[in-house]
Amino acid sequence: MVSACARKDLLAVGVAAALFCALIAAVALVPRAGAADADALETKLVSAREEAGSIAAGLRASREQLAVAEAEAAQAQAREDRLSGLLAEGEERAAELSRKLEATREQLAAERARLRRSRAALAARLVAIYESGTPSTASLIFSSASYEELATRADYLRTIEESDSALADRVEQVRDEVRHEARLVAGLEARALAYNQRLAAARDRIASVRAAAEAAAARQQAIAAERESALAGLKTSIARWVEEVQRARAAEARAASAAEAEEEVGRWLGGPYSIPAYIVMCESGGDYGALNPSSGAGGAYQILPSTWDLYDGQGEPQNAPKEEQDRIAGEIWADSGGGAWVCA
């Protein structure tokens, strides 16, 4: 005999049936989750995450463009400030040039007055020379009573000639100075006017660039704010959907566990063995090489050597191939049922 146990087949079947019913009842209590609902939510999550990624990328681009626009506006403002400073400096220089111009004009007026006086003196001298004539050397000698008088008259005549020559030179010099001063005044006026015009035009252009950059920065800031709001709303929806998916998947997992429990019941009642699996698992844990040192029973079905020999088993049960152990266990079950095993 395989075992000394006197249990009947009906008891084994009853125990198995009771275990099966208990497991089925437990499985019936597990709520079934809608896999389709969870899949739909996950599809929405994938789409929402892609949209969030797109919005986040756009937001990063907007922030980069905003930083560029703000930098351009700051640079334009700095350049405008520098040009405003240069313009103020230019206006100060223009005022200085105006003062210098006024002084130059006064100097020019004085030079012109002196020129007029020099010209009048020269004209008077020319008239005097014309009316009295120029004394010759012979007349000067003959009209002199002594050598001293001759020397004095010669010195006087030379002084007059030098004075006439100096007067003429002075008139020419004053005339050149007047012309130079006039050109200087015209050049200063032109330089001051051109300098201020260039500065004013540059400042106007920079102000236009700054205004455009500030407008662009304001637009990018509005776009960034709108995208941040959309991203925040989408993140809230994603968080809610994630929770719903987790709940659905948990319910689905519970349902799957229940299905696995049903399958496990089937395996324990049947399984890959020649007798109910729960008996095999109780006897040997499914180990075809198991050996009970006290009774000598061996193999997955813990068959006694005497019973093994009775059913024409070759060698020892624990050393026999799986197919041989399954065949002999099936024959024993057919002859004796569960009563041949202690765990039945």
- Domain containing residue 287: CATH number: 1.10.530.10
Last residue of a domain, one of 247, 282, 298: 247
Same domain, yes or no: 207 and 331: no
The alpha helices in the chain, defined as continuous H runs, are 9-28, 35-132, 137-143, 147-269, 277-283, 305-310, 322-336
| 322 lies in some domain | yes
Same domain, yes or no: 76 and 188: yes
Same domain, yes or no: 233 and 281: no
Same domain, yes or no: 64 and 144: yes
| 191 lies in some domain | yes
Look up the domain containing 207 and give its range: 48-247
Same domain, yes or no: 20 and 66: no
Each residue's pLDDT, cut to its tens digit, for the chain (344 residues) gives: 443 333 333 344 344 444 444 544 444 444 444 567 888 888 988 888 888 888 988 888 888 988 998 999 899 899 889 888 887 887 888 788 778 868 878 887 888 888 788 778 777 867 776 666 666 666 767 677 787 887 887 787 788 778 778 877 877 887 888 688 778 868 877 887 887 889 789 889 888 989 998 999 999 999 989 999 998 998 898 888 878 878 887 887 777 765 665 555 555 555 689 999 999 999 999 999 999 999 999 999 999 999 999 999 999 999 999 999 999 999 999 999 999 998 87
Number of domains forming the structure of the chain:
2
Chain-centroid distance of CA 249 in Å reads 37
Same domain, yes or no: 213 and 307: no
Please tell me the distance from the alpha carbon of residue 313 to that of residue 40, in angstroms, as a whole number: 59
Last residue of a domain, one of 189, 216, 247: 247
Domain harbouring 220, CATH code: 1.10.287
pLDDT value of residue 326? 97
Please provide the DSSP assignment of 188-248 as one string.
HHHHHHHHHHHHHHHHHHHHHHHHHHHHHHHHHHHHHHHHHHHHHHHHHHHHHHHHHHHHH
Please tell me the distance from the alpha carbon of residue 78 to that of residue 75, in angstroms, as a whole number: 5
Last residue of a domain, one of 215, 247, 279: 247
Same domain, yes or no: 292 and 195: no
Same domain, yes or no: 239 and 183: yes
Same domain, yes or no: 197 and 237: yes
Q: Which residues contact 141 (CB under 8 A, 6 or more apart)?
A: 150
**Pair 271, 56: CB distance under 8 Å:** no
| 231 lies in some domain | yes
**Pair 181, 101: CB distance under 8 Å:** no
| 43 lies in some domain | no
| 265 lies in some domain | no
Same domain, yes or no: 186 and 314: no
Same domain, yes or no: 141 and 283: no
**Pair 188, 104: CB distance under 8 Å:** yes
| 237 lies in some domain | yes
| 325 lies in some domain | yes
Same domain, yes or no: 132 and 24: no
